[in-house]
Amino acid sequence: QTIEQGNFEWSAPSNIALVKYWGKKDNQIPANPSVSFTLNNCKTITKLAFAKKINTGNFSFNLLFEGKPKEDFKPKIHKFLERIEIYLPFLKDYHFTIDTVNTFPHSSGIASSASGMAALAMNMMSLEKALNPEMTEEYFYQKASLLARLGSGSACRSVKGQVVVWGNHKNISGSSDLFGVEFPNAIHDNFKNYQDTILLVDKGEKQVSSTVGHDLMHDHPFAERRFAQAHENLDKLITIFKNGNLEEFIKIVESEALTLHAMMMTSMPYFILIKPNTLEIINAIWKFRNDTKIPVCFTLDAGANVHVLYPNKDKPKVLQFIQDELVGYCQNRQYICDQIGNGAIEI
Ligand code: PMV
């Protein structure tokens, strides 16, 4: 089948890891399995227009970000196209216009690589399906996640499902290093509509990219123990997702966040991405949890922002606490209310 021109549009959400991916092998293969909550409100919406052209052996695309040409994202997209070409051999037969917007504020310090690469991968998969219509839905989403992984590792967890595992784990059936899979077992109601309020502590550019950070795990003195720990923590989460034990959930999630940053602080060269206000917030959360017994906890990405995780039923009290005691630690008092979501959607 040949198709002359057309367009697709997909939205894909960001995700927040509970067990962190930090360290990788060649071809974006993770050094350890990870699991994340898919988010709902923080997302990228990408329209892909395509038109058939003569194959001159080069990729051809323009990139629009919030309606304007964006040259500095182009090398990343080019690298992505190079990596996925073996899976989508038609790429050089088309000129693409990639038109993308994020729902979260520009340079808020929220990584858009997961949502952005997932949204682009979904669009590319739609074109693949238009050209080769005979594929199952399972194949479609699996391959979309595989493509997204080649854009940005964590992006493969932004395709489908509320709780997504990426990386082979002996007790999670179907889990793979090549793509993310929806957590296969039933999840306790305590996690239904779980909330994630993202406190924007520092909106500046990261001093150390996650690519460099992953690489520093190669000669890291604690790498092997850390990778084994991720397997163990994922095992514990399997039980926790089943029994809904939030006290145990908090222990794993906060330990994972601090371990991620401990790996950064103990690599060579070492670096620190958290800020004084990150620590102020963590201490305030611990005090609030101790005083109220509300099971609220924090996690961190590769940056200073704090994700505050809590059950839906505690939302009024936790939001009050955030407004009263935490927004003062945020840049321009900014924070984003999000919650667990379902993955990418075609528009
Ligand atoms: O997807 P990358 O290469 O930007 O790595 C992201 C890694 C963390 O966000 C720090 C952890 C994770 O599992 O998402």
In the three-class reduction of DSSP (H, G, I as helix; E, B as strand; rest coil), residue 244 is classed as: coil
Domain for residue 278, yes or no?
yes
The complex's ipTM works out to 0.99
Tell me what pLDDT residue 104 has.
87
**In this structure, are 244 and 100 located in the same domain?**
no
**In this structure, are 271 and 329 located in the same domain?**
yes
Give the list of residues 6+ apart from residue 23 with CB closer than 8 angstroms, or none. Answer: 30, 31, 32, 214, 217, 218, 220, 223, 226, 227, 263
CA of 73 to the centre of ligand 1 (A): 18
Cβ(20) to ligand 1 under 6 A?
A: yes
**In this structure, are 32 and 162 located in the same domain?**
yes
Look up the pTM and report it.
0.96
**In this structure, are 30 and 175 located in the same domain?**
yes
Q: Whose CA is nearest to atom 9 of ligand 1?
A: 301
Cβ(37) to ligand 1 under 6 A?
A: no
Among 187, 222, 249, give the residue marking a domain's end.
187
Q: Whose CA is nearest to atom 4 of ligand 1?
A: 210
Tell me what pLDDT residue 206 has.
73
Among 167, 187, 207, give the residue marking a domain's end.
187
Cβ(154) to ligand 1 under 6 A?
A: yes
The residue to which tokens 């309020």 are assigned: 197
Domain for residue 289, yes or no?
yes
Sign of torsion over alpha carbons 98, 13, 230, 200: positive
Which residues in the chain land under pLDDT 70?
1, 106-109, 205
Cβ(108) to ligand 1 under 6 A?
A: no
The residue to which tokens 């330990």 are assigned: 255
Sign of torsion over alpha carbons 308, 186, 175, 230: positive
Tell me what pLDDT residue 317 has.
98
Count how many domains the chain has: 2
CA of 22 to the centre of ligand 1 (A): 6
Tell me what pLDDT residue 108 has.
64
**In this structure, are 178 and 288 located in the same domain?**
no
**In this structure, are 179 and 206 located in the same domain?**
no
**In this structure, are 293 and 268 located in the same domain?**
yes
CA distance 64 to 161: 28
Tell me what pLDDT residue 314 has.
98
CA distance 116 to 11: 9
**In this structure, are 80 and 23 located in the same domain?**
yes
CA distance 62 to 74: 8
Q: Which domain holds residue 226?
A: 189-339
Among 147, 169, 187, give the residue marking a domain's end.
187
**In this structure, are 125 and 162 located in the same domain?**
yes
**In this structure, are 183 and 151 located in the same domain?**
yes
Domain for residue 344, yes or no?
no
Q: Give the domain CATH number at 232.
A: 3.30.70.890
